[in-house]
Amino acid sequence: MAVGQRTPEDASAPAQGWGLNTWDSPWLNFKFLLGAGIVLLILLFGLVGPFFWDTDLAYTGAGPLNKPPVWAEGGLPEHPLGTESNGRDMLAQLILATPSSLKVGFLAAIIGMGIGMALGSVAGYVGGWWDHVIRTLSDSAVTIPALVVLVVIASYVQMTDTTAMALILALFAWPGPTRLVRSQVLTLRERSYVRMAHLSGASALEIMFVEMLPNMLPWLAASLTGGISAAILGATGLEVLGLGPTRVPSLGLIINQATTNAALVRGLVWWWLPPIIILMIIFVGFFLMTIGLDEIANPRIRQFSSTRRERTAAGELPPVEPIEDGTAGEEEAALEVDDLHVHYFTPRGEVIAANGVDFSVRKGEILGLVGESGCGKTTVAMAILQVVQPPGRIVQGAVRIEDRDLVSLSGRELRQVRWRDLALVPQGAMNSLNPVTPIREQMADAILAHENIGRVELEQRILNLLNDVGLPERVIDMFPHELSGGMKQRVCIAMSIALNPQVIIADEPTSALDVVVQRVVAQTLLEVKERLGVSMVMIGHDMGLQAQLVDRIAVMYAGNLVEVAPVESAFAGPLHPYTQLLIESIPSIRERKPLNVTEGLTHDLRDPPPGCIFQFRCKHVERICRERRPELVEREDDHLVACWLYEPERHALIELEEA
């Protein structure tokens, strides 16, 4: 076996996963870092403050009474934030109170987290009765109104210091982490790598701490920061009520003293407002950390926020280049895709997912769009429907239905085109049905969104559609969960033809279905095509299925179309080496043949090589293939291929270039 040429793939791609030491680390989240910075600053204020300010001033009688801050009238420079009714310096009080409030929060949250991790992992990993007991306890603990119980406990227990306070608060800090860890463990233990570690002889403890824990870190951290601010809030609440330790200065205690001394009525704003401001800054800091950590744990949240950015910043992006309408191509085309370029703008460079894809779907035909995972076939489908997800974007090209370029349509115009002219049967379509609505309503919604028809007509229309896809009439009153996967898939096909579209995009319409059901669904699609004369783009990777279903086949490799041909000639005489490879590697049920092993290294999609896109895997690679990209040219009747092998002049071409 050839141990692969080195390709750009090996050299590139810095660690994206959880590597903590790279610049790509997800921990470099702006909100998280900003929040951490704020918390750090507040902490520094409390820790460094005593070195710059005399904290003895925080005790009774240290200064004059009720002096306002230095900038107000009557303020004194030796008491920059003023003094209160006992002559205590506000700045010194705040310096002492801030770290003690933070300490209570940290301590309580960490104790709670520790208990939660122990209980949660036992419940999740051991399961059984342990799980029952722990889950019941933590669930019921969550329902207890924490502050009320805290008040009751705090009024009985004489709290001398912050540690005692933290311990009491920890009573309410454990259920959250317990539930979190339990659910994480339950999810992770089903992961293959955890089962693999089990097979590698790892003990339960090792699996818990080495395999699972690192993957929970972002969630745990988010829970911890959330827990800290909750604990600070609880502690402050008790202190304000006068139930906290009275000898230790704390932010809540300052507020408590301010209120008992009627500072509010007397207008001593500088007494009660500063602790509140500090608390607010602390909460904002922890809040930012928490949502930052949430984004780190669920990268999809970040994606959503970047979607919005992409939209508002749309003006800065280079405009889609209009293609002058040559009205070329065959007239019978139902859908034309013209020089389509789709790029994904990732932080580590532009991924070229579709590079000048150019094909048309003729009226009443099924065009198969095939290729392996990551070749860009689904991207092309999404681009046809104008639903490319950010950071992806159509940078060039046109998608035409009846001479209307969908790329240039507005959102509203597009909504009219979708379903009516262009429908989609999505990948795993059966999961796109709403589980709580009967089929009747889901189909009615789709129709009524575009057409205004009466109830009787609507009903009849739905029944006809179900009939079209070979489903019995009673399906109309059933819920998705009452249907098998194949039936749900056929409901989705029925919905896609509801408005008599001209083109249906079917994205792997039978993947994840059993073979027998797959055949039923595939035949349904064929029947629908025959009966309605609709055109289809059938996206897939199963060459056997393509052979059965499509009229013409378009083969994609790494974002480029390499061959477009009628299905018979594509299977009988594939021209492109990649198509040949695809067809040779179909396992046959008819004959036992030796396995055809090839090395499958591809290039980095961000950095396509000059020349042919398939050069790293091609057996016939020549010099010209490394230097110039072959174009898609008709070499046989209706059979297009992008390969230099079929260019007789290729040697002359390269020599000409040299000269």
Partner 1 sequence: MTQPGKAEPLLRIRDATMEFGGGFLSSQPPLVALDSFSLDLHESPAQITTIAGESGSGKTTLANLVLGFISPTQGQILYKGVDLSRLDRKQRLTYRQEVQAIFQDPYDVFNPFFRIQHTFNLVMRHFALAQDKVERRELIEDALNVVGLRGDEILEKYPHQLSGGQRQRVMVARAYLLRPRLIVADEPVSAVDASLRAMILDIMLRLRDEHGISFLYITHDLSTAYQIGDNMIVLFQGITAEKGDTGQIIENPQHPYVQELINSIPVPDPKIKWDTDIRLPAEETMRTQNAEGAPRGCRFYQRCPHRMDICLESQPPLIPVEGQHAVACYLYES
Q: Which residues within the stretch 493-522 sit at the binding site for partner 1 (CB under 8 A)?
A: 514-520, 522
Nearest distance from residue 477's CB to partner 1, in Å?
13
CB 366 to partner 1: min, Å: 12
Which residue, 356, 376, 345, is CA-closest to 602?
376
Binding partner 1 by CB under 8 A: which of 300, 311, 455, 590? 590
- Using only the alpha carbons of the chain, give its radius of gyration: 34
Q: How far apart are CA 193 and CA 18, in angstroms?
A: 15
Residue 215 identity (one-letter amino acid): N
Determine the 3-state secondary structure of 644 from DSSP. Answer: helix
Q: How far is the CB of 425 from partner 1 (least distance, A)?
A: 18
For residue 421, give Cα distances in angstroms to 78, 358, 417, 551, 617: 78, 20, 5, 21, 39
Strand-pairing partners, residue 346, are: 349
Distance CA 19, CA 14 (A): 9
Count of residues engaged in binding partner 1, rule: CB under 8 A? 73
> Closer CB to partner 1, residue 209 or residue 304?
209
Alpha helices (H) along 241-298: 251-260, 263-266, 269-297
Contact by Cβ (8 Å): 4, 599: yes
* One-letter amino acid of 207: I
Nearer to partner 1, 151 or 586 (CB): 586
Q: Which stretch binds partner 1 (CB under 8 A): 35-43, 222-230, 587-595, 651-659?
A: 587-595
Q: Return the DSSP state at 324.
A: P
542 lines the binding site for partner 1 (CB under 8 A): yes
**Choice from 195, 348, 620, 623 touching partner 1 (CB under 8 A):** 195
The per-type count for the chain, helices as H runs and strands as E runs, is: 25, 12
Site residues (CB under 8 A) for partner 1, limited to 154-193: 191-193
Beta bridge partners of 89: 83
Q: Is 476 in the site for partner 1 (CB under 8 A)?
A: no
Work out whether 589 is an interface residue with partner 1 (CB under 8 A): yes
> Of residues 148, 313, 328, 597, which one binds partner 1 by CB under 8 A?
597
CB of 280 to partner 1, least distance (A): 36
Pick from 56, 139, 332, 482 the residue near partner 1 by CB under 8 A: 482
Stretch of residues binding partner 1 (CB under 8 A), selected from 33-41, 72-80, 223-231, 596-604: 596-604
What is the nearest approach in angstroms of partner 1 to the Cβ of residue 8?
A: 12
Name the 3-class secondary structure at 186: helix
Out of 484, 530, 634, 655, point to the residue binding partner 1 (CB under 8 A).
484
Please report, as residue ranges, which positions from 347 to 406 form the binding site for partner 1 (by CB under 8 A): 372-373
**The pair of three-digit structure tokens given for residue 555, joined into one six-digit string:** 């083969």
520-539 residues in contact with partner 1 (CB under 8 A) are 520, 522-523
By C-beta, is 229 or 489 nearer to partner 1?
489
CB 422, min distance to partner 1, A = 26
Q: Is the bond preceding residue 391 a cis peptide, omega within 30 degrees?
A: yes
Cα–Cα distance measured from residue 403 to residue 380, given in angstroms and rounded to the nearest whole number: 19
Q: Are strands 392-401 and 333-346 parallel, antiparallel or unpaired?
A: antiparallel
Strand bridging mode 535-540 / 503-507: parallel
Taking the CA atoms of residue 303, residue 15, residue 32 and residue 191 in that order, the dihedral angle to the nearest 10 degrees is: 70
Rounded to 5 degrees, what are φ and ψ at 345? -95, 85
Minimum CB–partner distance for residue 513 and partner 1 (Å): 9
Q: Which of 75, 187, 198, 654 binds partner 1 (CB under 8 A)?
A: 198
Give the C-alpha separation, 569 to 633, whole Å. 15
The distance of closest approach from Cβ of residue 553 to partner 1 in the complex, given in angstroms and rounded to an integer, is: 9
Residues 6-25 that bind partner 1 (CB under 8 A): 9-10, 13, 15-19
- Bond prior to 249 in cis (omega within 30° of 0): no
One character per residue 545-584, x = contact with partner 1 (rule: CB under 8 A): x-xx------------------xx--x---------xxx-
Q: Residues for the chain: how many in total?
A: 659
Gap between the Cα atoms of 146 and 170, Å rounded: 11
Residue selected from 79, 602, 630, 640 as contacting partner 1 according to rule CB under 8 A = 602
Contacting range for partner 1; rule: CB under 8 A; set: 224-232, 348-356, 394-402, 600-608: 600-608
Within residues 456-475, the interface with partner 1 by CB under 8 A covers: 470, 475
CA dist., res. 501 & res. 424, Å (int): 10
Tokens for 377, please give them: 């076939």
**Which segment (56-64, 120-128, 144-152, 482-490) binds partner 1 by CB under 8 A?**
482-490
Nearest CB to partner 1, comparing residues 306 and 523: 523
Site string for partner 1, 209-248 (x = CB under 8 A): --x--xx---------------------------------
State the nearest-atom distance from the C-beta of 516 to partner 1, in Å: 5
| SS3 category, 631 | coil
- Using the Cα atoms of residue 40, residue 41, residue 44 and residue 46 in order, give the sign of their dihedral: negative
Minimum CB distance to partner 1 smaller for 519 or for 635: 519
Instruction: For the beta carbon of residue 322, count every other beta carbon within 10 angstroms.
Output: 11
Q: Which stretch binds partner 1 (CB under 8 A): 5-13, 52-60, 285-293, 645-653?
A: 5-13
Q: Minimum Å distance from CB 258 to partner 1?
A: 49
